[in-house]
Structure 1
């Protein structure tokens, strides 16, 4: 399945929602300009794929903001 990609502050965020035991698990993949990818793991469970994807996108953006403000933590 083709995943929607969002560009944010020089990074690409790919929010994902996977059906998991009656709910949708939210996850995000973050790609930097060198092609390195980092997966979030499960961020939470939601009633719909849309809710899970929206949460994953928001969490991905928050992670990028944190990396830009705290580069040693990346």
Structure 2
């Protein structure tokens, strides 16, 4: 499936999501205008693709701006605990 790309300060942020066992792992490709690209490692596992995309874009913008990199707001264990409680 194609995921949305985002332009930010002349760079293109391209998320790469993979679904596994109800969770979404995300990597991010940061591409410059001269087609040089950098790919992150897996940034985390997320309960839905929207959360994964949101985090990937936040991460990419922080990296480009040389700001502190974000951390996911929850852990996989917390997600599994919520699922068991429901």
Place the TM-score, normalised by the shorter chain, in its bin. Answer: 0.7 to 0.9
State the TM-score, normalized to the length of structure 1: 0.78
Large movers: runs of 4+ above 2 Å: none
SS of corresponding position for 1:51 = helix
Please state how far the C-alpha of 1:3 moved relative to its aligned partner: 2.9
State the TM-score, normalized to the length of structure 2: 0.69
Matching of residue 16 in structure 1 with residue 34 in structure 2: no
User: Partner of 1:51 in structure 2?
Assistant: 51
Larger Rg: 2
What is the RMSD of the two structures over their aligned residues, measured on CA atoms?
Answer: 1.7
Q: Higher relative contact order by CA 8 Å / sep ≥ 6: 1 or 2?
A: 1
User: Which structure is higher in strand share?
Assistant: 1
How many residues get paired?
67
Unaligned residue ranges in structure 1 (runs of 5+): 68-74
